[in-house]
Amino acid sequence: MHGSAKDATAATVAQHRALLESLPFSDVRDFHDARRGLVGRRRPNAVTAEDGSTVWDNDTYDFIAGEAPDTVNPSLWRQSQLVATDGLFEVVPGLYQVRGMDLSNISFVEGETGVIVIDPLISTETAAAALALYREHRGDRPVTGVIYTHSHVDHFGGVKGVTTQDDVDAGRVPVLAPEGFVEHAVSENVYAGTAMGRRAGYMYGAALPRSPHGAVGAGLGQTTSTGTVTLIAPTVEITTTGQEEVVDGVRIVFQMAPDTEAPSEMLFYFPDLKVLCAAEDATHTLHNLLTLRGALVRDPHVWARYLTETIDLFGGEVEVVFASHHWPTWGNAEVVEFLTLQRDLYAYLHDQTLRMLNQGMTGSEIAERIVLPPAMEDSWSARGYYGSVSHDVKAIYQRYMGWFDGNPAHLWEHTPVDKAERYVALGGGADAMVENGRAAFEAGDLRWAAEVLGHVVFAEPEHAGARALLADTLEQLGYGAENGTWRNFFLSGAYELRNGSFGTPTVTASPDMVAQLSPAMLFDALAVQVDGPAAWDERLNVDVVLTDTDERYRLRLSHGALTYSDRPQPDEADATLTTTRRTLPALAAGAPTPDRLSAAGIEVSGDESVLARLTAVLDPGDPDFAIVTP
């Protein structure tokens, strides 16, 4: 099974021409800002791991130049040209960024004796390469501090590429992060990590060829690196707005912004430089309120409120704003204008969605009918390259109203396969449905073609005509998408229909991530793997004793649920695991057999067969589950 990409249809080309005429492509200020302060580039810009495998190669995007091809939305092409611009850039004297080395940016602030690193990318390999590029042009300065702006992996995963656990433990390198950082960083990548990772493969186009017919970027950054993910726990916790810290002689004033773009996030200001780091709360795109890989819905009302506070706190004197993605903005008036537009964008989407849902509209209806003010429509920084008005509005509806739209006919629908079989019967059989889909495709009604053909594929997965035409349909939807992640989702769906599953290319639940699980989080991670029906009749108790912290927990499996308590128990446990808090996460690194636990430093006493019974009912996630097929 193999299929190749096709060209854009006339309807897709016409859509692109209309967009070229409606958006202000003559405004090229972003291109000047994206290139401003260039110090040097890394050539070639491929990064390899120790085994020689390539974990990042920005040169594969060199084709993104000149006029947009027919197979790429011209607005997304413009954004990808900007985002693919790589190198070391001076933001202001003493503050530098390396861009185009991962999904995110890494920034360097020069202190009295060394350099402070802000957001060390996803992988140790890309972070180390970025630091080497900085040192090549700015001298071999030691790392004297690390700051994580928030709890997403592209802002901390490469930390061991710029410093070591030993240097942090010795107090030579403080690590600063917002309150709740470790809990959120770990839980998001572990609890639902398998499903998120599989969908992230679609979101970032990880398996797509880099070409005008394939991956051109994700709007926020080009894609994710695939190297070694690490984590060093923070040593300095930022808890309050106005908290001031001095790191290597550099004054930093912090602003808390929890539950905005991440559940644990902060912005901060360098008063001596008049520079603001906006983390990921103000970038050159409308951001996600619900990322397509899956997460908790973010709060646009709180997001807007914190940006108002940012303007109030720093707007009077700030001269430059930079973020963990994209390029900076210079000039006080320009910075305030940029922050104000970003603030108003999230406030507008929130308030108008609530206004319209209170008139009885559903999320999908609001997404079709909402109209942005001209100032937002015409501002490149407010366009939906990563988030989109469509899926952000639906997320706001979900946040307030849940999945149910209030129509009782939608309260108890059939599953996708059962529904598909009935639709195919209603449509006169699979072949007739495919012809209906073909007519919609040729008429340019791609959304209907995708719905009709999707039903056929779910009812008859091996129907070659339906699969081929659905792939063609998703491909044209991808070509038309202004949003980078929409393009990647559509084209990844087409790719899998033609070539089979590509699995989960990037796994973030690394050993360092698992090692940061608290006992409670570790037990929760095990609990969500229990196959409930298989465990209905099991009854077992396991004590976990941590000798270094004098903690004792009782794990209890009953009625298919694994629960735990840290209170004294009246009865003896069936088995006891004795270890340390640092070693305990080995419990989650594979089947908890006595031999494996003993090798990891976990002593097992009592009835060892209890562990085999527990292992027997664990059902870990499937990193290769189907998405475009049943």
Q: For residue 589, is pLDDT > 80?
A: no
d(CA 354, CA 471): 36
Q: What SS3 state is found at 532?
A: coil
d(CA 548, CA 519): 13
Lowest average pLDDT, out of 73-77, 138-142, 515-519, 533-537, goes to 515-519
pLDDT average, residue stretch 270-277: 98
Of the chain, the percentage scoring pLDDT greater than 70 comes to 99
pLDDT average, residue stretch 372-395: 97
d(CA 336, CA 316): 9
The model's pLDDT over 511-530, given as tens digits with 9 standing for 90+, comes to 788 788 889 988 998 999 99
Averaged pLDDT of the chain: 95
d(CA 8, CA 70): 6
Confidence of residue 504 (pLDDT cuts 50, 70, 90): confident
Confidence of residue 293 (pLDDT cuts 50, 70, 90): very high
Q: For residue 39, is pLDDT > 60?
A: yes
Phi/psi of residue 362, each to 5°? -85, 170
496 near 627, Cβ under 8 Å?
yes
d(CA 311, CA 306): 9
Q: How many CB atoms lie within 10 A of CB 244?
A: 11
Q: 3-state secondary structure string, 200-257?
A: HHHHCCCCCCECCCCECCCCCCCCCCCCCCCCCCCCEEECCCCCEEEECCEEEEEEEC
According to the model, what pLDDT value does residue 1 have? 40
According to the model, what pLDDT value does residue 508 have? 64
147 near 268, Cβ under 8 Å?
yes
355 near 397, Cβ under 8 Å?
no
Q: What is the pTM (predicted TM-score) of this model?
A: 0.95
pLDDT average, residue stretch 601-625: 91
The model's pLDDT over 331-362, given as tens digits with 9 standing for 90+, comes to 999 999 999 999 999 999 999 999 999 999 99
Q: Tokens 């059962």 sit at which residue?
A: 418
Confidence of residue 599 (pLDDT cuts 50, 70, 90): confident
Q: For residue 548, is pLDDT > 50?
A: yes
Distances (CA, A) of 59 to 46, 72, 87, 93: 7, 19, 12, 28
pLDDT average, residue stretch 229-257: 97
pLDDT average, residue stretch 36-64: 97
Q: How many CB atoms lie within 10 A of CB 543?
A: 18
According to the model, what pLDDT value does residue 514 have? 79
According to the model, what pLDDT value does residue 314 have? 98
DSSP class of 113: S
Distances (CA, A) of 8 to 474, 476, 479, 493: 12, 6, 7, 17
pLDDT average, residue stretch 374-386: 97
Q: For residue 2, is pLDDT > 60?
A: no
Lowest average pLDDT, out of 392-406, 449-463, 538-552, 588-602, goes to 588-602
In 25-140, the DSSP E strands lie at 38-40, 46-48, 54-57, 87-92, 95-99, 106-110, 115-118
Q: For residue 167, is pLDDT > 90?
A: yes
Residues 6+ apart with CB under 8 A from 373: 348
